[in-house]
Amino acid sequence: MKRDEKSLAEFRLGWRGGSVWLILIVVAAWGVRPGTAATMKPGAPAIAAPASEEEPANALLAAEAATIDLFDAASRSVVCIRTFSRHVEDSAGAVHELPLGAGSGFVWDRQGHVVTNFHVVDGAEQVEVALADHTHWRARLVGIAPEKDLAVLRIDAPAEKLEPLPVGDSSRVRIGQTVLAVGNPFGFDHTLTTGIVSALSRTVDSPSGVRIHDVIQTDAAINPGSSGGPLIDSRGRLVGVNTAIYTTSGSSAGVGFAIPVAAVVRTVPHLIRHGRIVRPTLGLALAPDALTEALGLKGALVLSVEEGSEAARLGVNGSTRDEMGRWNAGDLIDTVDGSAIRSSGELLDWLDGREAGEVVTLELYRGGERRTLSLVLAPPSVLPATLPPVPQEIPPSGTVE
């Protein structure tokens, strides 16, 4: 052994020996002090302080008990949704159902209405809803709002089986407050995850390509199958509908999004009553926000103008494509009645609170020139239900599911 190595070995041995004596001396000193705790034999397990007679040893903390109570109450409202397509397989014409997917939802009222995401039921020919008591019910599609990623189903379950969630106020939600998500991730029904509100006023794409604004961001785990489930606050009130995750791997990365309950409260009554959102119209169709951004623009881009509408009479221009498939931008609306408009989604949100017959003032850009138009909002009319798809040449930095 080299000298340096020997010295190091001696040092280690001497240090360990010194440590043993030091520990023994300290323990001995503690042992003779009056009123101190008794010494323990080496290797003996630690003994917890005895629980008081009022509090059992396995008692839950107050915060834990509160979370359990919240879950017990909310889970009675949460449903599991399974979707199917019909498939004719044999020459006899026998119809077989093929599973399409699964998601979550929650009971809206005792009339059997269930709220979920539009993308959960999109393309389904049959929908099945499982309540918390594990009874299964065929569901009818009542209404859809692709631009909000919301849909309403209805089941014929008895009222006593239906437990609506209390509705909160998303305008009072604050960053840092506790939120809970209940859903069916990966088919594991009635799963609870907890977290906080990570951010507010986020924007995500709806299935129709229109941006959804004022979205709540949370780090409560939201995974495939959680979509459509409720996001609740620490009082058990609905504050959002879980709609998407931002991920590069296909599973939760701690960035989830929920549609604010304010948008849900505005939308659901329309879907129950009319099957769609009924709002006054400007007489034009708006481009998907991703297309507007791809063109380097900010505002509500006019995609097409309804023939015979007041917008057509006033000369509002829609967008066109050339022979190479490149977009030529039409009029870009950026202000309505003095309110700044950053996207098509914001203009639709603005229209939600208006009535047919109102006169509105539009400020728009056309070929670099600013124009101001006043027009009368018309009653709802039939416009294209599906906006053009987002151009494939715009790659997302992550995927939204």
Q: Which residues contact 161 (CB under 8 A, 6 or more apart)?
A: 131, 133, 135
Can you tell me the distance from the alpha carbon of 56 to that of 157, in angstroms, rounded to the nearest whole number? 41
Question: Residue 335: exposed, middle, or buried by beta-carbon count in 10 A (0-12, 13-18, 19+)?
Answer: middle
> How far is residue 28's CA from residue 382's CA, in Å, rounded to a whole number?
90
Three-state secondary structure call for residue 270: helix
Can you list the positions of beta strands (E) in 226-290?
Answer: 230-233, 238-247, 256-260, 284-286
Q: Which two tokens stand for residue 243?
A: 């709609």
Q: How far is CA 194 from CA 69, 186, 191, 215, 290, in A?
A: 14, 17, 10, 18, 32
Buried-state track 270-281, b at ≥16 Cβ within 10 A, e below 16: bbbeeebbebbb
CA 230, CA 104: separation in Å to the nearest integer?
Answer: 8
Q: Which residues on neighbouring strands pair with residue 346, listed in sequence order?
A: none
What the block records as the tokens of 377 is: 């909002």
Q: How many CB atoms lie within 10 A of CB 194?
A: 16
Q: Are 187 and 254 in contact (CB under 8 A)?
A: no
Please tell me the total number of residues recorded for the chain in this structure.
401
197 within 8 A of 217, measured Cβ to Cβ:
yes
Q: Classify burial at 349, counting beta carbons within 10 Å of its beta carbon; exposed 0-12, middle 13-18, buried 19 or more.
A: buried
Give the residue numbers annotated as catalytic, written as ranges.
Answer: 119, 149, 227
What's the alpha-carbon Rg for the chain, to the nearest Å? 30
* CB-based contacts of 115, cutoff 8 Å, min separation 6: 105, 106, 108, 150, 151, 152, 153, 228, 241, 264, 268
Bridge partners, 211 (sequence order):
205
